């Protein structure tokens, strides 16, 4: 029994409005969940600036072994350059360890860099979110804890240290930059992992 049948059994006929920012097939999913026909509104009329998405593969340092320059060091270098140019930047890492390593690196390069992950106290996380919105913090290095559901305002750039694992997560992270009418940048820095290398060689995927 689908949800519309259940509602009808109790004498109700609700109108369903379903929203998603990232699902590839929202119409099909909504129809499967409710058993109702849906009309897709797929165009976003909100004002927004240009968004540039860059797929970056670190250079090979040992051709015989196929070893590339370390993706964490390359993430640091790109983030440092953005900060040098005055861009408020959010750096995503895929693990707590990588987050702390990048945080240590970037703190050596710039003041006003903070970390953000699930292990931080709620009060500390709220303070970081507020200072990020108000522009007091120039950069944050985060796990997926800042990926969605938290208001951090509009940023200039996002740098992703490695492929997040899903297309939806990639778009969620990239979407953290450029929510107003200014141009924004999202950079995906590939690691040497096979999935990262596949994504970087097949960006159309």
For the stretch 5-49, pLDDT in tens is 777 788 888 888 988 866 778 899 999 988 889 999 987 776 677
pLDDT at position 101 is 95
Distance CA 54, CA 165 (A): 17
pLDDT at position 179 is 65
Q: Is 9 helix (H, G, I), strand (E, B) or coil?
A: helix
Section 135-160 average pLDDT = 86
Share of the chain above pLDDT 90, in %: 48
The dihedral formed by the CA atoms of 144, 195, 83 and 140, expressed in degrees to the nearest 10: 10
Question: Distance of alpha carbon 137 from its chain centroid, rounded?
Answer: 18
Residue 141 has pLDDT above 90, yes or no: yes
pLDDT at position 67 is 83
pLDDT band of 190, cuts 50, 70, 90: very high
Count of residues in the chain: 205
Q: How does 180-204 read in b/e, with b if 16+ C-beta sit within 10 Å?
A: eeeebbbbbbbbbeeebbebbeeee
pTM above the 0.85 mark?
Answer: no
């Amino acid at each position: 029994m689908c949800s519309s049948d259940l509602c009808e059994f109790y004498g109700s006929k609700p109108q369903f409005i379903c929203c998603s920012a990232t699902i590839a097939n929202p119409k099909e999913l909504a129809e499967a969940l409710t058993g109702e026909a849906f009309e897709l509104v797929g165009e976003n009329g909100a004002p927004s600036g240009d968004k540039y998405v860059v797929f970056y593969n670190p250079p090979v340092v040992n051709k015989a072994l196929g070893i590339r320059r370390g993706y964490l060091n390359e993430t640091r270098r790109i983030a440092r350059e953005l900060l040098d140019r005055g861009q408020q930047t959010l750096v995503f890492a895929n693990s707590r360890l990588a987050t702390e390593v990048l945080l240590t690196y970037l703190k050596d390069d710039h003041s006003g860099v903070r970390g953000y992950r699930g292990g931080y106290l709620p009060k500390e996380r709220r303070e970081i979110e507020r200072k990020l919105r108000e522009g007091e913090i120039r950069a944050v290095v985060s796990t997926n804890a800042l990926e969605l559901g938290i208001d951090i305002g509009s940023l200039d750039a996002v740098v992703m240290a490695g492929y997040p694992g899903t297309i939806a997560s990639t778009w969620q992270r990239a979407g953290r930059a450029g929510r107003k009418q200014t141009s924004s940048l999202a950079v995906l820095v590939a690691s040497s992992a096979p999935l990262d290398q596949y994504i970087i060689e097949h960006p159309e995927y």
